[in-house]
A = this chain, B = another copy of it.
Amino acid sequence: MTVDTVGVVGGGQLGRMLGEAAAPLGIDLVVSDPTPAAPAARVAEQLVGGFDDPETVRALAERADVLTYEIELADPDVLERVGEETGTSVHPAPKTLRLIQDKLVQKRRLAEAGVPVPAFRPVASVGDLREAIEEFGAPVMLKAREGGYDGRGTVRIDGPEEAPAAIEAIEGPAMVEEFVPFDCELAMMGCRGDGETDAFPVTETIHEAAILRETVSPPRVPESVRERARRVARDVLAVMEGRGVFGIELFAADGEILLNEIAPRPHNSGHWTIEGCHTSQFEQHLRGVAGLPLGTTERRCPTALSNLLGTVEDPRPATLEGRASALATDRLALHWYGKDEVRPLRKMGHVTLPGAGASPEELLGAVREARAELSA
């Protein structure tokens, strides 16, 4: 079947960058988002409705040849039911979304499949948590099983005395993981097409307060570590079902790789591919879900990226400042997400710097400098 229209649950920056990639491919993008005039609405058609609202998802399915989602808040049950009732296939598979949404279930399934993960266990009480601290040694990471992102839903615990407050902060079902004293964090965008899998080059990711700030590819780790990352990505992709791209976040520690988390969608750690690779993760996701051949994941050149985050203390209308100064940087590419409101640490845009011959440090320094010209 020829796919002319792709329906996307979610119309944030990922939906917007999917829209930018869709038009050249001759794919019409329709997104659904509860916020009118969502970022994607500038480059795609938008239906206004909740991510988990069955009527909105049904309307999306009726407009589209295939459904996907750019936000984990999509409801796998709704997607599955609407998919069955309308005959519109959903990619990645709703059961994979369900698997990923519950961090405990995700880790269990991946561990079973031989993917190296940090030691973990479910936590139902302060007692469970204290036991885990004893077993793993402090610090440990307490995580909400569902709904966390950008550091929300995760608490670092440095000793058993912090257990009661942490359990209270997380609310709801939780799991605990050993703290991984990583040398650096890496990420890979895995790709599942129609009978083929692939992955974009390994990327180093730099977080601060649990929010991604910068990425650089190739990463500052030896080839042996990159090769381990590629093997882990392959094993992860074998567990996933359905088509599309998957953000695979990894820890590199002592030459070993441990899986941190998976996102069944384009991911911030893959934004650099727009300029840095011949195929972007957004085009690749569309190729995947539309059943088209995957594009090459070849890197064009070493590439660094820096996120533009909201620095305000309270929400206010967003305005892009400093654009002319930033764009004076040779080769710099700007990606503004078109969000109406800036909020503390909200992702408002990013800048990418492709460089030939520059070291990762030089590229990161230059992209940071250009980013510092901008504010939202």
What residues of chain A have their CB less than 8 Å away from a CB belonging to chain B?
2, 16, 19-20, 23-26, 28, 42-44, 275, 278, 287, 291-293, 295-296, 298, 300-301, 320, 323-324, 327-328, 330-331, 333-336, 338, 349, 354
> In the complex, which of the residues A16, A24, A335 has the most CB atoms of chain B within 10 Å of its own CB atom?
A24
CB-based contact A338/B293 at 8 Å:
no
Given contacts A28-B42, A330-B296, whether A278 and B23 have CB atoms under 8 Å apart is no
Nearest residue, chain B, Cβ from A26: B336
CB-based contact B42/A278 at 8 Å:
no
Excluding A24-B334, A26-B338, A275-B278, 9 further A-B contacts by CB distance (< 8 Å) are: A2-B323, A20-B20, A20-B43, A23-B336, A23-B338, A26-B336, A43-B43, A296-B331, A298-B331
Q: How far apart sit A320 and B24, CA to CA, in the bound complex (Å)?
A: 12
Q: How far apart are A300's CB and chain B's nearest CB, in angstroms?
A: 7
> In the complex, which of the residues A23, A42, A293, A336 has the most CB atoms of chain B within 10 Å of its own CB atom?
A23
Q: How far apart sit A291 and B328, CA to CA, in the bound complex (Å)?
A: 12
Question: Which of B324, B335, B338, B354 touches A278 (beta carbons < 8 Å)?
Answer: B354
Q: For residue A42, which residues in chain B have a CB less than 8 angstroms away from its CB?
A: 23, 28, 43-44
CB-based contact A328/B293 at 8 Å:
yes
Q: How far apart sit A24 and B334, CA to CA, in the bound complex (Å)?
A: 6
Q: How far apart sit A327 and B20, CA to CA, in the bound complex (Å)?
A: 18
Q: How far apart are A274's CB and chain B's nearest CB, in angstroms?
A: 8
Q: How far apart sit A323 and B293, CA to CA, in the bound complex (Å)?
A: 9
Q: How far apart sit A19 and B24, CA to CA, in the bound complex (Å)?
A: 11
Q: For residue A26, which residues in chain B have a CB less than 8 angstroms away from its CB?
A: 320, 323, 334, 336, 338, 349
Q: How far apart sit A192 and B338, CA to CA, in the bound complex (Å)?
A: 27
Q: What would 18 A/B residue contacts be, using CB atoms closer than 8 Å?
A: A20-B43, A23-B42, A23-B43, A24-B333, A26-B323, A26-B334, A26-B336, A26-B338, A26-B349, A42-B43, A42-B44, A291-B324, A292-B324, A292-B327, A293-B327, A295-B327, A298-B331, A300-B301
Given contacts A23-B16, A26-B349, whether A287 and B333 have CB atoms under 8 Å apart is no
Question: Which of B24, B44, B327, B335 touches A287 (beta carbons < 8 Å)?
Answer: B327
Q: How far apart sit A330 and B349, CA to CA, in the bound complex (Å)?
A: 30
Nearest residue, chain B, Cβ from A333: B24
Nearest residue, chain B, Cβ from A45: B42
